[in-house]
Structure 1
Amino acid sequence: MRLGGRLQAAIEVLDDIENRKRPASDALKDWGLSHRFAGAGDRAVIGNIVYDALRRKLSLGWRMDSDAARHIAFGVLLSDAELDMDEINAALDGDKFAPAPLEAERRSIWEARDLASAPDNIRADVPEWCVPHFEAIFGDRWVREAAALSDRPPVDLRVNTLKADRDKVLKELARAGASAAPLLETAVRVPPLRAMGRHPNVQAEPAFQRGLFEVQDLGSQIAAKLSDAKPGEQVLDYCAGAGGKTLALAAEMGNKGQIHAYDAERQRLAPIFDRLRRAGVRNAQAHANVEDLAVLEGQIDLVLVDAPCTGSGTWRRRPDAKWRLSDQQLERREVEQREVLDAAKAYVKPGGRLVYITCSLFAPENGNQVDAFLSSNPAYERVDTKPLWDRAVSEAKALSPLFKDGTAILSPLATSTDGFFISVLKREK
């Protein structure tokens, strides 16, 4: 496919997402199934246009003075694809599958408008109802913080120290453009895409198949690190999902002690078994039935709760989610979080820790939940995350979380990670 056909396909996918209110991944998958002639390169470029359009739908639409998928997709080519209008027109010329060229009126508007003069939520590329949530956390810098959630993300990898060190993984991934990531000595990063390129498939690498590394955002790695799991401890990963943090904790513990990985949704937990085997983890077992955990009540040194949340901190990777999110969904997540915390606390032994994590940047899911928990559970007290951070990270003076009331708030702008909230609570008695 030529650029024109790829652009038209992206426009059709964007219209499908908008009209049917469905996830971008589903719309792209269905397009691929119905257009099997499209190669991997075609699908990568189409996906780039779609995701860039969703990341910055408001700012691109403002510059075009139109929220039509067609105009926003052209905006992607003019910005993220690093093409000018003459190059685009030349690429579309003679392509019978291409959309009509951009109208002269739209081109003039695009060239005349300066995003710096747009309203704040347009520059931030977030729904207007979300603005108070970002202001509450980040104050005067909220626009820059929110706008950073619209950037293209890197691919972050965690070195599996049970099998390798970072130098070995970097050597294995030299062709993929991998380099040392900031903050953690066990993190590796493939930089964000440029123009219409595509990321290498690192999971096809022999080093991945041998379990030398896992794909895991740097923020998630830091959250596991700040949990401060120690060899020999009893650990419960209460919302384990596919097991990313379980694997990270196992490596921190040197395969010593015991990790219980539980998730209420069996389908989410299913990948953990292959991942444990590949990584060489011997001190973890997965549980799909909450009844299995009864014997652990009051026995656990560290209970990690990666709570269900809106995922606002991951909008770089799942930008369609921010346009589907509503305040009603936020309220439902708050209820779920309270229920999860109330259930998880039963397993913490006196002197043990409860670590509450979300990939959200909304206070109702984060600091407000911790405040409410402490108010109704006087046996717990906050553990300051700043000393934990100082011990855990390697030197990177330009990157630091927002430390607020003893918690750590990570973000793309502050720490070059996805957005995460981390609170460590200790049960005194």
Structure 2
Amino acid sequence: MTPGARIQAAVEILDRWLDGEAAEKALTGWARRSRFAGSKDRAAIRDHVFDAIRCKRSYAALGGAMTGRGLMIGLVRAQEIEVSELFSGQGHAPEPLSDAEMAAGEAPQGAAALDLPDWLEPIWRDSLDERAEAAALAQRSRAPVMLRANLRKTDLDQARTALSGEGIETRPVEISDTALLVETGARKVALSQAFQTGLVELQDGASQAVVDALPLTDGMRVLDYCAGGGGKTLAMAGRADARFYAHDVNEGRLRDLPDRAARAGVEVTLLPAGDVQGDFDLVLCDAPCSGSGSWRRAPDGKWRLSAGQLQHLTELQRDILDQAAGLVAANGVLAYATCSLLADENDNQIAAFLARHPGWTETQLQHWLPGPQGDGFFLSCLIRADSDATIDRNFSG
């Protein structure tokens, strides 16, 4: 396919997305209808589509229309490429721009310049203060591909050597001592022996840093209460010889965890949904959230989130914290984490919990902003203790 033909394919896919179809479904449907497209074509088209979704409002402003064609015109203008080179009408490329399209388009302003919904911009600014613009702009670019070295089976240097032998070049980064940033060969990771034998796992750098910050020690009883796919469960198991339990209200999310745990060389006990009993030394609640810290990975979520959905999420988070608090043993730790940047899901949620539960205190608070080594995350650790407990506060990124 020519570069112009790839642009036209992205136009068609984006029109379906703008009509309400999920981006992944629209991409898959196009690929099935277009068997002529090679792997490089599909990868390039996918990149065009997700770049446009991340930057929907700014590209629409530059392109002069909230359509697939308008978004692609905006993308080309943002990348300072001559529009006529790709919109030529030749070789399945989009038709040349009309006089009206040539005259249309302007620099994005306000929330559009940050690629945020109008309703969210004031919440975003209130949550992040002077960091608001940088955090929003970081969500407009692609996320890094990060790996976690599984300390149960290897160390960082051995993992790098194994990956390099399979054409995957990585480098360590500061955010976590288990984190590797993939520099070349990212598409080879899933089929590599290093991955399939459990030496490494795909995991965001900030997600690894959250686990690093947890007070893990050998012999603990550790519950991942909102385990999802179990990524943090496995990361914790790589750091301590403890007894690990995983729970999720949607048991289907845990379906692959036994196989992943076996590959990693660790043991995890799955607990039935809604039926968790006992006292745990550490309960991690990686709560359902807006995902606003990781929108560059899943940009659909930024545009589908509504004020009503955000309120529903904060109510769900409140309930999860209250339920999980009853599972923490004496002198145990309740850890609350989100991949969100919004205060209502983070600091405000913890303040409300402490107001409801005066016997608890916060001992650790940390924020990570989206950046070149990881996504945006939040972590608060809570214990039943007096108010003289030391509080560790940090803002990274």
TM-score under structure 2 length normalisation? 0.91
Displacement after TM superposition at 1:60 (Å): 1.4
SS in 1 for 2:326: helix
SS in 2 for 1:264: coil
* Counterpart position of 1:320: 300
* Counterpart position of 2:197: 210
* Equivalent of 1:84 in 82, 85, 92: 82
Deviations 1:200-259 (A, max 9, x none): 231111110110000011111111111121111110000011110000100110xx2201
Structure 2 unaligned blocks of 5 or more: 387-397
SS in 1 for 2:96: coil
* Counterpart position of 2:136: 146
* Equivalent of 1:172 in 152, 162, 165: 162
**Are 2:269 and 1:285 aligned?**
yes
* Counterpart position of 2:47: 48
Return the alpha-carbon distance in structure 2 between the equivalents of residues 171 and 93 of structure 1.
48
Return the alpha-carbon distance in structure 2 between the equivalents of residues 425 and 23 of structure 1.
38
CA contact (8 A) 1:55 1:151 kept: yes
Alignment of 1:10-159 (within 5 A): 10-19=10-19, 21-80=20-79, 83-85=81-83, 87-88=85-86, 92=88, 94-95=90-91, 97-103=92-98, 105-107=100-102, 113=106, 115=107, 118-159=108-149
Return the alpha-carbon distance in structure 1 between the equivalents of residues 161 and 81 of structure 2.
34
SS in 1 for 2:201: strand
Aligned CA distance change for structure 1 residues 102 and 231 (closer, same or farther; 3 Å)? farther
Displacement after TM superposition at 1:267 (Å): 1.2
* Counterpart position of 2:369: 411
Paired amino acid for 2:274: V
Return the alpha-carbon distance in structure 2 between the equivalents of residues 22 and 419 of structure 1.
27
Displacement after TM superposition at 1:66 (Å): 2.2
CA contact (8 A) 2:86 2:93 kept: no
Alignment of 1:319-358 (within 5 A): 319-358=299-338
SS in 1 for 2:120: helix
Deviations 1:8-62 (A, max 9, x none): 221111111111x232112212222233332222211111111000111111122
Return the alpha-carbon distance in structure 2 between the equivalents of residues 100 and 281 of structure 1.
56
Deviations 1:362-402 (A, max 9, x none): 11111111111111111210013xxxxxxxxxxxxxxxxxx
Return the alpha-carbon distance in structure 1 between the equivalents of residues 126 and 133 of structure 2.
12
* Equivalent of 1:274 in 259, 265, 272: 259
Return the alpha-carbon distance in structure 1 between the equivalents of residues 247 and 320 of structure 2.
12
SS in 2 for 1:173: helix
Aligned CA distance change for structure 1 residues 26 and 427 (closer, same or farther; 3 Å)? farther
Return the alpha-carbon distance in structure 2 between the equivalents of residues 93 and 27 of structure 1.
23
CA contact (8 A) 1:123 1:143 kept: no
State the percentage of identical aligned residues. Answer: 38
SS in 2 for 1:354: strand
Return the alpha-carbon distance in structure 1 between the equivalents of residues 21 and 354 of structure 2.
38
* Equivalent of 1:365 in 334, 345, 353: 345
**Are 2:194 and 1:237 aligned?**
no
Structure 1 unaligned blocks of 5 or more: 385-406
CA contact (8 A) 2:73 2:83 kept: no
Return the alpha-carbon distance in structure 1 between the equivalents of residues 26 and 63 of structure 2.
24
Displacement after TM superposition at 1:340 (Å): 1.1
Paired amino acid for 1:287: L
Return the alpha-carbon distance in structure 1 between the equivalents of residues 143 and 307 of structure 2.
26
TM-score under structure 1 length normalisation? 0.84
CA contact (8 A) 2:175 2:373 kept: no
211-220 vs 336-345, greater mean Cα deviation = 336-345
* Counterpart position of 1:390: none
CA contact (8 A) 1:23 1:321 kept: no
Return the alpha-carbon distance in structure 2 between the equivalents of residues 106 and 140 of structure 1.
36
Return the alpha-carbon distance in structure 2 between the equivalents of residues 181 and 154 of structure 1.
12
Aligned CA distance change for structure 1 residues 99 and 169 (closer, same or farther; 3 Å)? same
Displacement after TM superposition at 1:170 (Å): 1.6
SS in 2 for 1:288: coil
* Counterpart position of 1:301: 281
SS in 2 for 1:417: coil
* Counterpart position of 1:262: 247
The total of aligned residue pairs comes to 384
Return the alpha-carbon distance in structure 2 between the equivalents of residues 189 and 343 of structure 1.
36
Paired amino acid for 2:220: E
* Counterpart position of 1:399: none
99-108 vs 244-253, greater mean Cα deviation = 99-108
CA contact (8 A) 1:54 1:320 kept: yes
CA contact (8 A) 1:349 1:427 kept: no
Return the alpha-carbon distance in structure 2 between the equivalents of residues 189 and 109 of structure 1.
40
Displacement after TM superposition at 1:3 (Å): 2.2
